Each structure stands twice: as C-alpha cells, then as structure tokens.
Structure 1
Amino acid sequence: MSLPSIRRPAVLLVSSGLREARERRKIGLRHLAYRLRMSPARLSGLELGKRIAHPSDVSHILGFLGISGVEYEKFMESAKHVYDDNLVATDDMRSFSLMWTYEQMSDRIVEWSPFCLPDLLRLPQHFDREPGTDEEPACPELGPLERTVRREAVLDGSRHYLFLIGEDALRSAGNEPDADAQIRSLRSVASLHHVTVRIVPTTANNPSPAHAFTLFEDRRTPMAVAFKNVHCTAYLTDRALLDRYSGTAKSLQRQALRNAAAADTLADFTWGRAL
C-alpha cells in the first residue's frame, strides 16, 4: 500500500480556489480546458492539487475566468509559495479553506488543546469571553459559519476524531456556571463511535507543546499539522515537523491512557471520570 502524498498548503489553496472560481462562473471543466488549450486531465489535476499550478498557469487560468483585482492578487500570492512545505495564513477565509480541505482529505484528525476546550467541543457561550473574566477568549475561535460547518463534519461519521484535552482546560471549563451543560455535551460527543475524548494530565515536566495543534492523518500517516494563534494559522507539511508532531500526539495519548487508568486516585477529577 502506497503512502498518501503530502499536499503543500499553498498548492491546496490555489487548486481549491481555481475549482471554486470556475464553478462559481458555471463553466464546465472540459469547456475551460478547451479554451485554455489544455487537456481536461491536466486541468483536473491542477484543480485537485495533484499537479502543481505554476504562477504562469494560474495567471493564464485566471485571465480566462475574468478574475482581477484583490482576488487575482491573493491567487498570485499563494502561487508564489506552491513549493513551500509550510505556510502562515493570516487571512481567515484562506485559513478556513485550508483547514476544511485538509479535514476532507483525512481519515483521522487529532486535536490537542492544553488550556481550553477545543472549538468543536465548546458550548456557544464559551466564545463570548475568557472563563471567569470579562476578557476576550485566549483560545482563537472559528467564525460562526465555519464552526457550524466543522461541527457538522464531526457528527457525520466520515472520519475519526481524537480530542486530547489538557486537564487544566477541563478544570477551567468545570468552574463555569454552565459546567453541567458542558459535561453533558462532552459526554454526548464522546459517545459517538467515531469520536474519542482523552484527558491529558498536567505534570511538572510535561514535554508537550503549550500551543494547541490539529494533526491531519490519512491511514494513520500525518499529512499536515496546523496550529493557531489570534492573528494567524500556520500549516506545516515538512516531513520532519510532521513526524515530530505525530510523535507528540502519540505521547499525549499514552499520557491520557495512563491518566485514565489512575483517574480514581486523582483528587477533584469528576470530569475525567464522567467522560
């Protein structure tokens, strides 16, 4: 069995953008390929990210689609990075496009969230402010539409989700007035056959990264990793970095399994037992 190919983030941005732009204009792939004097197979490969769209290819296609101005500039900026293994996305729509594309290509997604519940598991009111304060949340959040789309993907059962939640995140959520509703929600999601929720204990010498990350896998082989802060999301496909984050995810899961075995001995661990 061959290993899944790694798709660089800028390649996916360009390919999915070209396909969306063509479909938005209601132009068939074969018709556009004919006008471009390009084989349909080659154009399809460019739109699926199986072929790298060079900047000259992108400019040529955009011209026939009548794309100009800001949209054109964004396309061409992405096209400059099609050979880069990593990409920092500062535009919310570009970031969500990448997140969604990698998610659809994956058969398993691992989310590590050390200090707050993952976006996909939090109640809507948790997005209003940082728990226990009047401040904006420290955890970057998805927009309402993007969050809804991803939540529906979690529920449809097309892929497996492994949520690794830091003990500190769970305790913080447990101190909220709506803690009972939150634990019922967590329990409901964790009961799905394709969703696993694990609690990772806090230790003084924990080697795990402090930042949250999302690991996208196909046949248990890492394809990409994303980690967010308030202003941007970094998407990494460098093989050494993928191996590092994959190893980290496995280490976190081992810690969580050991923690589950010892849960009865942990003080104040009602939430961990409830899951």
Structure 2
Amino acid sequence: MAASLREVRVARGKGLRELARMVRILPQLLSAWEKGQRVPQPEDVARLLGALRVDDVTYDRMMRLARHARDDNWLDSNPSDLPPALSGIVEYERTATRITMWSLAVLPGILQTPDYARDVLTNAEIGLAQADAMLVARLERQRILVKPEPVRLTAFLGEMAIREQIGSAEIMSDQMDHLTRVADLPNVSLRIVPRNIGYHPGLIGPFVLYEFGSLPPIVHLESSHATAFLHDEDVVRDYRRQAKILANRALSEDATRDLFREVAR
C-alpha cells in the first residue's frame, strides 16, 4: 500500500508537502505512510485519494489495500494489473538488504534476460499491453543487483529451471551466459539444486524471503492466480529453515557456474 500511495501521488504530479497541505496533515506523517513506517486508517487513504481525484478503479483498489493493510498476512487473489502485488514486490526489492529465493522450474524474473522474460510473459495468457508493462517492470527490477549499494541475493534454482527450454535454444544459451555473468557479481550467490535427490521442502513450491535493515522480514509466495505476503514470525522461521535445507542440497557456486556453461553449449 505504501508503494501504491506514492505511485498515485507522483502520477498526479503532486509533491509530498503539497498533498499533505491539501489534506491538512503533517508532511512527516504522509512520508511515514509512503515508506510503510506507519499504517494510515482507511478514512485517511480515502481523503488522500479524494484530494488526488483518482478514477474509480484506482479508488476501489487502494481502499481494498487500506482495509487489509493491518492484516498479519495478505493475499491478493486476483493480481490483474501491476499494482498492488507487483508494486509491493518492487518496493521490497528496492529496500531489502538481503533476498533469498527458491525457484523450482522457471527462472525468477530478477535473473531473466529480455528474450526469456518475453517468452514467459507472452505465453502466460495475459493481455499484450499487460505483458509489455510487466516486461519493462521486470527488467527495471534487475537494477537492484548493480546499484551503488546492491542487495545481497542468494538464489537457489531447481535444475529443471535451466534444463526446461523456454523459447528457442538460442534464447536459453543466452540466458545461461547471463546467469554466469550475474553469478560473478560479488553480492550474488546462485546455486543449482539438482534433480533426483529425493524429497525436500522446496518441492512444494517457490518462495522469496526479503530481509530489511530495520523492518521485519517478509515472505512472498506466488502461484498462477494468487500472490501472498506473509509476515508471521513462525512462517518466516519455517522458510529460513527451508533455505538452510536447500543450501545443504545445492551445488557449490563454482559447480553451478560449470553447469550454466554446460547447458549454454
């Protein structure tokens, strides 16, 4: 919700102090809402949206977020446009100090080449305009790996994710070359979890764990029709445990690079 509040304000061309003055609140309070440091009441969000004169679709979406913003865990069961689900992910990626992710069968968006991403999105049964918007957002998100103070990324990848051909053989070869380059970044650890090693919790499904400097960690789960953000301490602890299990089963970083090169041939 914090990310969407800021997006709506910027889209309407309003400065933070200007909007705060319009609704008669302190700029510091509005800033805290936009940073996710404090949670506004639904009536506060309604005042902001009224001052910004947003359309009905945006109003309904934002009010739905406002009503559920204090929930321990949040589920978006129909992420039909970029926000709120993707807006939340972008904000988590932008502000996280460490990201740990597990992907079983498809490479995560933050590691995809444009051609790989385009093939995934165009075959996902979504509209062309939405696919284009998601492609642009997906490629922009990758900048967190090379910004001045980059996030520390640990990505466990199922072997199927690099063996399954997405697009042409050339696309996959380029994708493997890209993974090799990313794996050389000092803030990135990529490790393949081999096939046929028996049961492990990762077989249940992918996850992303976001950790922050001064805020509680968040787990992100995604399926074809739902996106969940989990904050419960016990849930987060369980996914930390899953990450440790995957680390024990995964190939080393060097062996992973060798496998990328082998698949790229």
- Compute the TM-score of the two structures, normalised by the length of structure 2: 0.80
Q: Is the 8 A contact 1:112 1:165 kept in 2?
A: yes
More displaced stretch, 38-47 vs 177-186: 177-186
| 1:257-272 correspondence runs (5 A) | 259-260=251-252, 271=259
Partner Cα distance (1:81, 1:176) in 2: 43
Residue 162 of structure 1 aligns to a residue whose secondary structure is strand
Partner Cα distance (2:12, 2:231) in 1: 32
Question: Match for 1:271: what amino acid?
Answer: L
Name 1:31's counterpart in structure 2: 18
Equivalent of 1:191 in 184, 196, 220: 184
Partner Cα distance (2:24, 2:215) in 1: 37
Task: Using the aligned pairs only, state the percent identity.
Answer: 31
Q: Is the 8 A contact 1:117 1:173 kept in 2?
A: no
Name 2:200's counterpart in structure 1: 206
1:116 has 2:110 as partner: no
Equivalent of 2:39 in 36, 45, 52: 52
Equivalent of 1:227 in 216, 221, 224: 221
CA distance change for structure 1 residues 176 and 248 in 2, over 3 Å: closer, same or farther?
farther
Q: Which has the larger radius of gyration?
A: 1
Per-residue CA distance 1:29-84 (angstroms, 9 max, x = gap): 23332332322222222222211111111112222222241111111111110111
Cα drift, residue 127 of structure 1: 4.5
Partner Cα distance (2:107, 2:262) in 1: 15
Equivalent of 1:96 in 83, 86, 104: 86
Cα drift, residue 198 of structure 1: 0.6
Partner Cα distance (2:176, 2:162) in 1: 9
CA distance change for structure 1 residues 83 and 209 in 2, over 3 Å: closer, same or farther?
farther
Name 2:128's counterpart in structure 1: none
1:171 has 2:158 as partner: no
Cα drift, residue 201 of structure 1: 2.5
Cα drift, residue 252 of structure 1: 0.9
Q: Is the 8 A contact 1:108 1:220 kept in 2?
A: no
Per-residue CA distance 1:131-150 (angstroms, 9 max, x = gap): xxxx9469xx9921111111
Q: Is the 8 A contact 2:190 2:253 kept in 1?
A: no
Per-residue CA distance 1:147-175 (angstroms, 9 max, x = gap): 11112223336211111111232333599
Partner Cα distance (1:122, 1:23) in 2: 29
Equivalent of 2:248 in 242, 251, 254: 254
Question: Match for 2:3: what amino acid?
Answer: S
More displaced stretch, 199-208 vs 168-177: 168-177
CA distance change for structure 1 residues 224 and 30 in 2, over 3 Å: closer, same or farther?
same
Q: How many residues align?
A: 250
Partner Cα distance (1:19, 1:263) in 2: 43
Question: Match for 1:160: what amino acid?
Answer: R
Unmatched tracts of structure 2, length 5 or more: 126-130
Cα drift, residue 26 of structure 1: 2.9
Partner Cα distance (1:174, 1:220) in 2: 39
Q: Is the 8 A contact 2:114 2:135 kept in 1?
A: no
Residue 46 of structure 1 aligns to a residue whose secondary structure is helix
Residue 61 of structure 1 aligns to a residue whose secondary structure is helix
Equivalent of 1:65 in 40, 52, 65: 52
Question: Match for 2:142: what amino acid?
Answer: R
Partner Cα distance (1:42, 1:195) in 2: 36
Question: Match for 2:20: what amino acid?
Answer: A
Partner Cα distance (1:108, 1:40) in 2: 30
Unmatched tracts of structure 1, length 5 or more: 1-12
